[in-house]
Amino acid sequence: MIDGELDRRQTLATAEKQATELNTAYLAAAGVEPGQEWKQPQAAFDAYPKGWTVEHSGRTWESLIEANVFEPGVSSWREVSPEGEAPEWVQPSGSTDAYNTGDRVTFDGAVFESIIDGNVWSPVDYPAGWETVE
């Protein structure tokens, strides 16, 4: 029983890393590289890993979660803006793409920085969660 418990704990400790490595290896073998045009994944095996970038609707997006099967701009992606520019605010679908402390967005022509984690509100809907950046 002790050996079984040790094996179980080892599996729990390494499974996420192994799944990400397998996912990345599958994408590489299929000729999918970061920065290419987004293609709807069939399942977790060909989904996009966290940090992966894709092009979609003329914009560059970065995956915010592991095994991302969602369409960029809908859920679990963040638009990548040119250096020094804040992307347009997009309504988060939930905790996977909520804004966190330090995230900057452009909203109604002004730049705002989130001062809370898990921020799913616009600067108008919850002003206490944002600071105006000059």
DSSP codes of every residue in 55-106: EETTEEEEE-STTB-SPTTTSSEEEPPPTT-PPBP----SGGG-B-TT-EEE
pLDDT above 80: residue 18: yes
pLDDT (mean) for 1-13: 90
- Tell me what percent of the residues of the chain surpass a pLDDT of 90: 76
- Tell me what percent of the residues of the chain surpass a pLDDT of 70: 100
| pTM of the entire predicted model | 0.77
